[in-house]
Structure formats: C-alpha cells, structure tokens
C-alpha cells in the first residue's frame, strides 16, 4: 500500500514537472514579448544577480536604493535560492524558473500524500492532479516571488507534522528529536523566505503540544527543540542585518512599512485599485511618503519605528475605518485576479473547498492543524497589506479540501470513487 502511494506520488511529481517545464519553454519562446516582471519579482531577480556578480544583497528597486549599500528590505531565501542557481548555471531567469518548477512539482507530490492522509487515496490523487495544472501555482513558476518557495515549505512542514503520527508511543526519543529538528529547520527556512510565514507557528505548537504522545515535559521539550532549530537557521541572517544596520532585524525590515501601508489615510486608494483590477500589486500613492521626508532610506530603524507609530495611531484614531480596511483586505485575499484563467479556476475550487471543509468536520480532530493554519493565514492581510497571491502558501490545503468536496459531490450524484482508506 505504501509502495503504491509512493509510486503515485512520484508519477504526480513527474507529470507536474513536465507541465511546468513545458510552460517555461512556451513562455521563453513565445512570439510576443513577455510581460515585464512585477516590482517584487524584479527585485528578487535583481538581488540574485547582484549576489552572483557583486556579492552584495541589494536591489536598485528597494531601500536604500543604493547599489553600493546592502539592503535589509527583502527576505533572503528566494534571492539566495535564485542566486545559487545563477552561480551554477549562469545568470538567466530561466534557471530560476526551472528551480521553482522543481520545488513546485515536489509540492504537488506532497499535496497528494497529505491529501491521502486527510481524506483517503482518491482525495490524494485528485488533489495532486489539480495541483499539477492549477493556474496560480503555474504562475509562481514564471514569476520569482516568495510565494513559490513558501507554498513548498508550508506543505512540506504540514506533511512533516502528519508523518509524525506514524511514530508509535514507544518510539525512541532520538526519533522525536530528529523530527523536532526537521520541523524547526523547515520552519526557519519558511521564516527566512517570508516573515509572514510565522502563521505556521500556531499549527506547529498545536501539534507538538496537544497531538503527540508523551508527558508535558516531553511535549515542551519538542517545542523548545523546534524553536531552537528555527532560531539557528535564522541567526546568521539576523547577525548580517545587525552588522549592516546596527538594528535588530531577524529577517527583513519592511514589517513596519507594510503595516503602515495597510493602515493609513490613503490605504483606500490601493484597495480600490485592487478591487477594480487596475493594479495587481500594492502601489503606494506619493502621499504615504510625506511623513518620512526628513529621513533617508538608509535610516532603517527610524523608518520602521515611525511607520509602526503612524499605523498604530491611525488605527487608534480611526478604528471604524481600520476595521473596514481589514474587511476589504480580507475580501481581496479571498478573491481571484481579474484574469479569466484565475477566475474560472478559483471560484469552483473555492466552492468545492467549502464543501470539503464541511465534510471534514466529522473528523475535525484530524484536520485541526490545517483548520488553524487557514485561520492564521488570514491574519496577515487583515493586519498588513493584501493581494490574492498572498493565499498561495495555503493553496495546497484548499486544493485538498476541494478534492474532498468533489468526491462528496460525486457520491451525492451516485458516482462513488472513494476507496476503503477514505475517511
């Protein structure tokens, strides 16, 4: 049975990789000129180029807007991932896309495996198959954004959590220690890729403390090991940031800035543009920079401190408006982009996901870790800024529930594909 599951997972990875490579080839050799990269994607690509050619982590597109000064504005893992590929194969975005294709394909295989654990073999097959062709996941192969790696790391971490369920109560302590270290390392990498991946922490704590066997001392020890391993992964970059700026910046320095962008008197302009589809990203109007005119872009600590103060002051003075912004940002988070492919794929997926989540409530304890992750993920757009692509890291789980929903609808119509292992 396990060999069959592994074989199917491998087939899904191969199919997903083939589809992604075909997409890259078509994209590279299309007749029309490719659309330019978004600001974020351009920044990650340029930072990777600078790492390879000049050994400096910076981009002319980000503060301090000086190619001679190191930057702390962006999280490091995606540029480092791209730079590693560029260093080996040459500075060409096609190599970065191929790297993202590989991790994206592995994520499809992990989605299939996790789907089987949560809903049975048929759900796993369906979830893996949907992941192979889902448009938003394919887009993240073409655009070098943090969501590409975040998606992979999120599903890998949750798969690690569920894999630990196979550990028996009499499993040697060393196995639990190894598992805890593995979870901590993946969590640390997720944080290095994007600080917003802190939303994984509640699910990790829930699993380590309440859903694994052992006394309270053992459970707390697992948490300590996980957090210690994650800290060790982040620590070198934190030290680098301190040496560059003199400030304590664990991952990157735009947290206060994005908090301010999502909570100021001009936030409505960005929200309206995203809602109307006139922009696909968060493009701040010039007015938001006015309170910072006396600061240089290199004054990272004061810039962040002031941004946080301005955001909190706005929320305190205008709670009703801040709440309205939070609702609109959450709506954007759960909306598709104004492209036909995204709309045609998202609305059915969302509908079947809701059916699947409702169906899974009969085994809610088994799904609690994923439920908590879905809820935690919504805190980022509510508090900071929002875009539809921000939900990419939780797409594998939504796809799993969509597969479960599709199975249940099929059963209601008299089409029974469920195998004996389904729950």
What is the tens place of the pLDDT at every residue in 250-269? 999 999 999 999 999 999 99
Across the chain, how many H-helices and E-strands are there?
Answer: 18, 0
The alpha carbon of residue 283 and the mean position of all alpha carbons in its chain are separated, in whole angstroms, by: 21
**Count of structural domains, the chain:** 1
Tell me the mean pLDDT in the region 374-400.
97
- Would residue 113 count as lying in a domain? yes
pLDDT of res. 167: 62
> DSSP class of residue 413?
T
C-alpha distances (whole Å) from 5 to each of 114, 115, 120, 299, 367 are 11, 11, 11, 53, 20
Report yes or no: 369 and 207 within 8 Å, Cβ to Cβ. Answer: yes
> DSSP class of residue 59?
-
pLDDT of res. 416: 76
pTM (two decimals): 0.94
pLDDT reading at 390 higher than 50: yes
Give the lowest-confidence range in 7-11, 200-204, 233-237: 7-11
- Would residue 269 count as lying in a domain? yes
Range(s) of the domain holding residue 83: 2-156+250-297+306-412
pLDDT reading at 140 higher than 50: yes
Please, which residues have CB within 8 angstroms of residue 325's CB and are 6 or more apart in sequence? 262, 263, 267, 268, 271
- Would residue 311 count as lying in a domain? yes
- Would residue 423 count as lying in a domain? no
- Would residue 315 count as lying in a domain? yes
- Would residue 74 count as lying in a domain? yes
- Would residue 211 count as lying in a domain? no
From first CA to last CA, the distance across the chain in angstroms is 16
**Strand, helix or coil for residue 170:** coil
pLDDT reading at 423 higher than 50: no
Q: What is the mean pLDDT of the chain?
A: 92
pLDDT reading at 31 higher than 50: no
- Would residue 76 count as lying in a domain? yes
């Amino acid at each position: 049975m396990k060999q069959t599951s592994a074989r199917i997972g491998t087939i899904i990875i191969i199919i997903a990789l083939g589809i992604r490579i075909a997409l890259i080839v078509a994209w590279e050799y299309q007749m029309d000129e490719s659309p330019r990269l978004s600001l974020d994607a351009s920044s990650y690509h340029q930072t990777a180029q600078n790492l390879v050619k000049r050994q400096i982590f910076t981009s002319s597109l980000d503060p301090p807007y000086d190619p001679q000064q190191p930057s702390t504005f962006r999280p490091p893992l995606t540029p480092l991932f791209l730079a590693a590929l560029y260093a080996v194969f040459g500075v060409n975005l096609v190599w970065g896309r191929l790297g993202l294709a590989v991790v994206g394909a592995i994520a499809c295989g992990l989605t299939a495996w996790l789907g089987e654990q949560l809903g049975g073999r048929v759900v796993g097959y369906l979830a893996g198959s949907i992941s192979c062709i889902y448009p938003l996941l394919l887009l993240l192969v073409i655009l070098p954004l943090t969501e590409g790696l975040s998606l992979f790391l999120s599903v890998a971490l949750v798969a690690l959590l569920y894999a630990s369920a196979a550990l028996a109560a009499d499993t040697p302590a060393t196995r639990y220690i190894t598992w805890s270290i593995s979870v901590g390392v993946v969590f640390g990498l997720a944080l290095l890729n994007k600080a917003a991946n802190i939303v994984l922490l509640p699910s990790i704590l829930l699993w380590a403390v309440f859903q694994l066997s052992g006394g309270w001392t053992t459970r707390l020890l697992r948490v300590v090991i996980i957090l210690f391993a994650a800290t060790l992964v982040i620590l070198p970059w934190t030290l680098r940031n301190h040496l560059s700026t003199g400030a304590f910046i664990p991952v990157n320095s735009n947290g206060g800035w994005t908090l301010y962008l999502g909570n100021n008197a001009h936030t409505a302009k960005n929200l309206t543009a995203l809602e109307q589809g006139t922009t696909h990203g968060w493009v701040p109007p010039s007015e938001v920079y006015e309170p910072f005119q006396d600061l240089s872009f290199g004054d990272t600590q004061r810039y962040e401190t002031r941004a946080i103060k301005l955001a909190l002051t706005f929320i305190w003075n205008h709670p009703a408006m801040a709440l309205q912004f939070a609702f609109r940002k959450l709506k954007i988070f759960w909306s598709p982009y104004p492209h036909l492919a995204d709309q045609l794929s998202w609305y059915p997926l969302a509908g079947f996901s809701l059916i699947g989540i409702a169906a899974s409530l009969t085994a809610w304890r088994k799904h609690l870790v994923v439920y908590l992750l879905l809820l935690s993920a919504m805190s980022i757009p509510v508090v900071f800024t929002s875009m539809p692509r921000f939900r990419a890291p939780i797409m594998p789980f939504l796809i799993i529930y969509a597969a479960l929903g599709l199975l249940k609808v099929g059963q209601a119509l008299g089409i029974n594909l469920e195998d004996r292992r389904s729950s």
